[in-house]
Structure 1
Amino acid sequence: MGDFWGRSVRVVAGAAVLALALAACQRSAAEKPKAAAPPAPAAPAVQQKPDAAAVWRKWGLKPMVPAPAPPADKPLKLPKKGPAKVFESVPTKDRVVFVTLDDGQEKDLRFVEMMNDLKVPVTMFLTKDDVQDDYGYFTPLQALGNRIQDHTVTHPVLPALDLEGQKQEICGDRDALTEQYGTAPTLLRPPFGRWNSLTQEAARECGISGIVMWRASMQIHDFQYDDPKKELHPGDILLAHFRGPEQLKGETMTRMFADLLKQIEKRGFAVGRLEDYISVQ
């Protein structure tokens, strides 16, 4: 009996110790701090569009009136056959003018930045001899939707040449520009604004449908106008050049172009894309 009761006590005591140990483990687990939850992923940054007015202020300008939507029925119709048509304006009632840039001597990188910022459409009439040292300069300007058109190889007085000589100048420029920029010119700006009937014939044989003149030309800070009242009219074609300080009496091309836009803006006009108003029929 003594051994029996001794064993019983020991069994009971062991069970009590085991129960106490289990209870302690449970309290320890309950009291153990929980691992912190991982932080929630940060919300993606919201891309802020640049203030349009600030972009224009960067160049010392006020925002211009947006150009109207291009007309579905193009008002200037050029013939597919016969002499290339000569024109200096587009028949439209829209308060819109068209900016053209000639030659290609000046290759100001700040001007490319300006055009990327402002998205003002221009038509570029490039001379092979002026651009062949850096064809790539004009590629980002073309990428903005600006067309590259013909301005001859060497910038001669075209009427001083015979038909074959004019064709060599016009077709030679067309071929070089087509190879470099992937699209064939369809318009010609005759150097010095000089042309004759042979120019019209040579242009047609080189795939040119229109010979583009102008109603006002940008000098340094203002236009030289055909209109004695010094006014712009809906559909006027405006002439400027790729020129720098040497030709602009120390001014940069960006300053000249900013002044050009100021003159247009204060007269309440927008700048349209010339090719958007032209069709060949």
Structure 2
Amino acid sequence: MSLSSRLSAHLSPRLSPRPSTPSSPRRSPRLTPRLSARLSALAASAALLVAGFAVPASADAPNTPSGGINLATNPGFEIPASSLAEWGSVPGWRCSGGPAEAALTTAAPHSGTSALGVTPAGDSSTGECVQTVSVQPNSTYTASAWVRGKYVFLGATGTDRPTAPSWTENTNGGWQRLTTRFTTGPTASTVRLYVHGWYQQGPFAVDDVQVDGALPAPATGAGSVPTSDRVVFFTVDDGWQRTPEAEKFITDHKLPITAFPLPMPAAADPGFFQRVTAAPGSSIQNHSVSHADLSTLSLAEQQVEICDARDALTRTFGTAPTVFRPPYFAWNAVTLQAAANCGFRHVLTADADFSWGASNVWHEGTLSPGDVVLLHWTDTLATDLPRALAAAEAAGLKPAGLTDYLR
């Protein structure tokens, strides 16, 4: 097929670019738990609802109709690849050819210190890179990007309405801005933003991606769930140590468990997490990519941690997580906006800790209705769980499914 006929087919009402086929990440060395002495203080402060706090714009987000916040993740390609080298070469983006085709480049970026450089491998590749952007229904958005190369495309799918991409035939060695607008339908909550080149047209570069439009309200932060029901919620973090003894206790007692695994251990042993969350009410939720202290990161960096973990868990388990737990319970107002930009309404900590032999309740008295209990996937979990269950039963409470109560 000629280039002109292939382009014509591509541009009529919206051709769907070939889907990404990322490889599964390999397991990295075990991350050592680093809960600090300030955990109790952080947990106490995390129980406050702070949805009304002002959220500062990140340094790489110019003024936009979204209240100063660019909805794209890693829009300027300034966030370096994770120290978890297996995770991928372009934070915030998934590229169809992986690191063999796409990587951050410092060669003449449009602005800042780096851009996305893509060299499609073979005649059948367009070098597509995509990300999921959270949107509001019945809303209009503007997406733009600066591109360099021949036959470069920018567009969005999943809008519930056909959207033609913006494209350029040739930027003649310089940078050119592509802009497209799309309006979401009544059921849209996310769109798939994409950039790609064209078959046999050589390398291209992308920088300064912008998505402007309706901004989601910040997520709410809490350490417990408001309910008068006599229930508590068992949550288990991380995932590097998975023991058959803990799995047997969970299975034998049909415990509803909310697992917050990191994406790498989850991808290394998905069957384990599916088995330990088999009881009704159980679920697998988001705990970030690298277990970083988010309170030390910018909005753009936090958004990469949360959105990338969301996408990884969705690929591994087929269901998108709906609750985010910040590592070390360290979060701030920026975290609430970053979580919202990734589609999360709840940033959840806990108000009791039964990890590593502990029996700490961070309020007066015993466990209370709606308490969230923190545990970890460790070699002590098989003894931590019975102790937590006994504490719940002594208070006249029973474990319940977290997502059944979070609305």
Distance 1:118 1:173, change over 3 A: same
Q: Compute the RMSD of aligned alpha carbons.
A: 1.8
Map 1:102-181 → 2, pairs under 5 A = 102-145=237-280, 146-181=282-317
SS of residue paired to 2:356: coil
Q: CA deviation at 1:119?
A: 0.7
User: What is the one-letter code of the residue matched to 1:235?
Assistant: G
Q: Which residue of 2 aligns with 1:214?
A: 350
Answer whether contact 2:257 2:277 (CA < 8 A) is retained: no
TM-score between the two structures when normalised by the length of structure 2: 0.45
What residue is the counterpart of 1:44 in the other structure?
none
Per the alignment, residue 275 of structure 1 pairs with: 403
Q: Write the deviation string for residues 188-229 of structure 1: whole angstroms up to 9, x where unpaired.
A: 0000001111111111111111000111111334421211x3
What is the rounded CA distance, in whole Å, between the counterparts of 2:338 and 2:345 in structure 1? Answer: 11
Q: Secondary structure at the match of 2:366?
A: coil
Partner of 1:256: 384
Counterpart position of 1:71: none
Distance 1:126 1:179, change over 3 A: same
Residues 152-210 of structure 1, C-alpha deviations (whole Å, 9 max, x = no match): 01100001111111111111111110001111011100000011111111111111110
After superposition, the Cα gap between the structure-2 partners of 1:223 and 1:88, relative to the gap in structure 1 and judged at 3 Å, is same
1: distance between equivalents of 2:311 and 2:232?
A: 29
Cα distance in 2 between the residues matched to 1:205 and 1:221: 36
Contact 1:187 1:210 in 2 (8 A): yes
Greater share of helix residues, 1 or 2? 1
Distance 1:264 1:221, change over 3 A: farther
- By relative contact order (CA 8 Å, sep 6+), the higher-ranking structure is 1
How far has the Cα of 1:236 moved from its partner?
A: 1.0
Aligned length: 193
Cα offset, 1:100, TM superposition: 0.7
Which contiguous aligned blocks of 4+ residues in structure 1 show a shift greater than 6 angstroms? none
- Distance in 2, matches of 1:176 and 1:210, equals 19
Secondary structure of 1:86's aligned partner: strand
The normalised TM-score by structure 1 is 0.65
* CA shift in 2, pair 1:272/1:144, >3 Å: closer
Aligned to 1:224: 360
What is the alpha-carbon distance in structure 2 between the residues aligned to residue 253 and residue 135 of structure 1?
A: 18
SS at match of 1:235: coil
Give ranges in structure 2 of 5+ residues lacking alignment: 1-50, 52-135, 137-215
The one-letter code of the counterpart of 1:265 is E
5 Å matches for 1:225-240?
Answer: 225-227=361-363, 229-240=364-375
The one-letter code of the counterpart of 2:218 is: P
Contact 1:221/1:260, CA 8 A, preserved across alignment: no
Alignment of 1:76-87 (within 5 A): 81-87=216-222
Decide which moves more: 107-116 or 153-162. 107-116
The 8 Å contact of residues 352 and 360 in structure 2, kept in 1 or not, is answered as: yes
Residue 344 of structure 2 aligns to a residue whose secondary structure is coil
Deviation at 1:113, TM superposition (A): 2.0
CA distance in 2, matches of 1:103, 1:139: 15
Q: 2 CA distance for matches of 1:221 and 1:262?
A: 13
Alpha-carbon separation, structure 2, partners of 1:157 and 1:118: 34
In structure 1, C-alpha distance between the alignment counterparts of 2:262 and 2:293, rounded to whole Å: 13
- Equivalent residues of 2:237, 2:375 under 8 A apart: yes
- Structure having the higher strand fraction is 2
**1:152 maps to amino acid:** S
Give the whole-Å Cα distance in 1 for the aligned partners of 2:240 and 2:261: 9
